Amino acid sequence: MVEAEQGIRLVATAKETILWRIRHATRDVPEEERPEAVAVERAYRKEDRADRGEIVARFAERAAEYEAEVHRVGPAELPRAIEEALRRRGVRRLVIPPYLPREWIPEGVETLHDAARSRLTNQELDESDAVLTGCALGIAQTGTIVLDAGRAQGRRALTLLPDYHLCIVRERQIVGLVPESFASLERAVKGEGRAVTFVSGPSATSDIELDRVEGVHGPRTLEVLIVG
Amino acid sequence: MKKSDAFSPGPTPTFEESAKESLSDSQLRRNLGKATQTIRRKRAEAVGEMPDWEGLREAGRALKERVMRHLDEYLLQLEESVTRAGGKVHWARDAEEANRIIAGIVKDHGAEEVVKVKSIATDETKLNEHLEREGIRAFETDLAELIIQLAGETSSHILVPAIHKNRAEIRELFMERLGAQNLSDSPSDLTETARLYLREKFLAARVGISGANFAVAETGTVCVVESEGNGRMCTTLPPVLVTLMGIEKVIPAWRDFEVFMQLLPRSSTAERMNPYTSFWTGVSEGDGPREFHLVLMDNGRTDVLADEIGRQTLNCIRCSACLNVCPVYERTGGHAYNSVYPGPIGAILTPQLVGIGDPGPDSLPYASSLCGACYQVCPVKINIPEVLVHLRGKVTRHKQDRGGPRQKLDPENVAMQTVARVFSDPQLYEKAQRLARVGQWPFARGGSIGRLPGRLAGWTAVRDLKPVPQQSFREWWRQNRGSV
Ligand code: SF4
């Protein structure tokens, strides 16, 4: 037995050995059993049946509970709301991801455009004051913003290094429950392998005596404008 | 120096030997008491607002069961998906092999420093020490991990590893080790100091190292759940990313996140959602690392898998809810478990991973009153008491098999076997407690316990054990909180 095992070790790769160990360990599982045959009952909510107004209101309320600043604005007021938010924070250098709607880009601040052909360096991102993006989704149940590296969001580093993230969420992008978000992200992940980031409030730690401190490594301030 | 633990070579102290030390540390007990009570209350709120919580738990359990029964298939599928997405998969039979693979990748890129995001798997393999021997410095980037790394200590809680340190101690540590000056002891000042120190490291690092909370067989997507943003930094900024994961972390499909990403945050930090979760699928052109390595590690997990009762232990999603409700953990803290996996989950996982026969890990299944609170909060329904009892049986049988005729007659050993037999059956255990209340159990005198035999002796040496209460903890729990 020992000899046999040593013999196997000498020739088998780590992969073969691990797979062999697994098969040996699960020999109680019938040979013909397919994975799908192990029943998984999904007795949980898949969809929020509340009306849209309620879902949007819930998103606003729950995002705010994470100490994110949240405002609701009409489409016509959006450019002014963006400018105001940036002014309030004293933003001078603003990072702009590819395909950000032109009308969102404010006047009066220096804009640093990231593009596939001319990428901003990490140093430039680190020295900027803020980033302005759209998003892929908002989740009302948890107050989460979902980024999928798609239009108006850009690559992941853009929303990571600047200290202030101003994020525009359109009302129609808000889903009710967590399962709805994974369903609607499926295509971006399966089809294009895009990176997805869930953001629920600014970064936080409770590592020192369990006192919550905002802003450890990501943006210290997250502000959300919901456009109706 | 770091103390050795169950995953280091050589024997480890038993739970009761170490618990003695922790029980006499009143600072630790205060911190822990405050922490566990707060998290416990918040978790109950976060779970309370979910009308479908039980449905989610059952789905989580069933998905994990499906994975464990067909782990070989899911791992092969994962390898294929990750490779298709531009990543490279490595297999490691044990800790040493995993460390060797990772160090090899780091060296191939000529890097002398790496940034790390908290990963219990790399604690298990002692990766940092291995890298150090190879001339590579690993920087822990989680605030708590940084604190304990600077202090040269080990973690005492899966989720809040520096729970045993207060702000004054941390201030001193930062002034001494990071050269910070005029530092106050407010948590926000301390955090700011760490932010500045680590930002430089993130920007300079050529290799990032992470663990994984989940990896999806269907798509090859790997997921890291975190709060501080250091996980995003480590998995996004360095051009090379290496992820070490235990083979049990695989989940079948992308859509299964709808279950686990509801169960984990609420059970773990008691939030509706944790601040940041990163999901990446191989490498993305122009976004994040240019090179991605996924190391799949066994290191004893297939032994756990082979035990039909122990197998459920691999369902664990490391939320730490079971720690926070455990009355034993609340008193002793994490260090008493001498393992990177403390608390109830550690008491069942550690001895199974390292194997029965070492007095340290063997003592862990006894570090419990079998009250069942851990089972009730576990988001993937691991029946921890059942596994504890099962392992006690294994430990006892191992001892009996090993001991010669003399050892079998040793009065301590005989008493031990009685206790073990009683402990290994929850009904017998309760009956024994009821007997003790009327003074009929061999170890009870006049309704109180003076000295407990064998494994429990360490407890009575520290302080007199309370007399067996008129109502046992299990009975009390069932009446008061049994329906949580
Ligand atoms: S055993 Fe259950 S409760 Fe404990 S850490 Fe694992 S998943 Fe969480």
The pLDDT averaged over each successive group of 10 residues in chain A (228 residues) is 48 92 97 96 97 97 91 96 96 97 94 94 96 98 96 96 96 98 96 95 74 80 95
Contact B298 A218 (CB under 8 A): no
Percent of chain A that is helix, strand, coil (3-state, to 5): 35, 20, 40
Pairwise CB contact (< 8 Å): B281 & A189: yes
Q: Are residues A68 and A32 in the same domain?
A: no
* Residue A104 and residue A31 share a domain: no
CB A94 within 8 A of CB B175: no
Q: Where are the beta strands (DSSP E) in chain A?
A: 69-73, 93-96, 110-113, 130-133, 137-139, 144-147, 164-170, 174-175, 196-199, 204-205, 213-214, 221-227
Are residue A171 and residue A61 in the same domain, yes or no?
yes
Q: Do B147 and A35 touch (CB under 8 A)?
A: no
Q: Which pLDDT score is estimated for B66?
A: 98
Residues of chain B with pLDDT under 70: 1-4, 22-25, 27-28, 155-162, 403-484
Q: Are residues A61 and A13 in the same domain?
A: no
Task: Tell me if A46 is assigned to some domain.
Answer: no
Region of residue B282 (left: phi > 0; alpha: psi -120 to 50; beta: else): left
Residues of B within 8 A of A143 (CB-CB) are 272-273
Q: Are residues A94 and A159 in the same domain?
A: yes
Q: Which of A226, A99, A45, A85 is nearest to B262 (CA)?
A: A45
Q: Average pLDDT, whole number, for chain B?
A: 83
Asked if A206 reaches chain B (Cβ–Cβ under 8 Å), the answer is yes
Residue A47 lies in a domain: no
ipTM: 0.94
Query: Position B218: which residue type?
Result: E
Report the C-alpha gap between B343 and A134 in whole angstroms: 42
Asked if A117 and A16 sit in the same domain, the reply is no
B214-216 vs B221-226, strand pairing mode? antiparallel
Residue B118's closest CA among B33, B191, B209? B209
Q: What b/e sequence results for A69-82 when a residue is b if at least 16 CB atoms lie within 10 Å of its CB, and e otherwise?
A: bbebbeeeebbebb
B329: enclosing H helix or E strand: helix B327-332
Domain count for chain A: 2
Residue spans of alpha helices (H) in A98-144: 122-127
Q: Which domain holds residue A155?
A: 52-227
Q: In terms of domains, do A125 and A192 share one?
A: yes
Mutation probe of ligand 1 site: the residue of B157, B269, B382 with most atoms within 8 A of C-beta: B382
Give the DSSP per-residue string, A13-68. Answer: -HHHHHHHHHHHHTTTS-TT--GGGS-----S--S--S-HHHHHHHHHHHHHHTT-
Same domain, A15 and A74: no
Q: Taking CB atoms and an 8 Å limit, are B305 and A179 in contact across chains?
A: no
Measure the CA–CA gap between B387 and A52, rounded to whole angstroms.
Answer: 47
Residue A211 forms contact with B (CB below 8 Å):
yes
**Which among B8, B260, B245, B215 has a CA at the least distance from the CA of B117?**
B245
Residues A92 and A157 in one domain: yes
CATH label of the domain that carries residue A110: 3.40.50.10420
Level-2 CATH architecture, domain B15-302: 3-Layer(aba) Sandwich (3.40)
What was the pLDDT predicted at B280?
Answer: 98
Q: Is residue A84 in a domain?
A: yes
Residue A114 counted as domain residue: yes
Q: Find the residue in B nearest to A204 (Cα).
A: B228
Q: What is the pTM of this model?
A: 0.86
What atom of ligand 1 comes closest to residue B319's alpha carbon? 8
Measure Cα distances from A117 to A39, A192, B286, B335, B338 in Å.
49, 20, 10, 52, 52
Task: Find, among B415, B412, B105, B367, the residue nearest to B238 by Cα.
Answer: B105
Residue B69: phi, psi to the nearest 5?
A: -70, -20
CA of B58 to the centre of ligand 1 (A): 14
Q: State whether A147 and A76 are in the same domain.
A: yes
Sketch the domain layout of chain B as residue ranges: 15-302, 418-481
Is residue A104 situated within a structural domain? yes
A160 part of a folded domain: yes
Please name the amino acid found at residue B446: G
* Cβ–Cβ gap B221/A38 under 8 Å: no
pLDDT of the residue at B87: 98
CA of B16 to the centre of ligand 1 (A): 23
Tell me which residue of B207, B211, B171 sits closest to B187, measured CA to CA.
Answer: B171
- What's the CA gap between B142 and B228, in Å, rounded? 7
Q: Are residues A97 and A175 in the same domain?
A: yes
Q: Which amino acid is at B123?
A: D
Instruction: Say yes or no: A29 and A62 in one domain.
Output: no
Instruction: Determine which residue's CA is closest to atom 3 belonging to ligand 1.
Output: B378
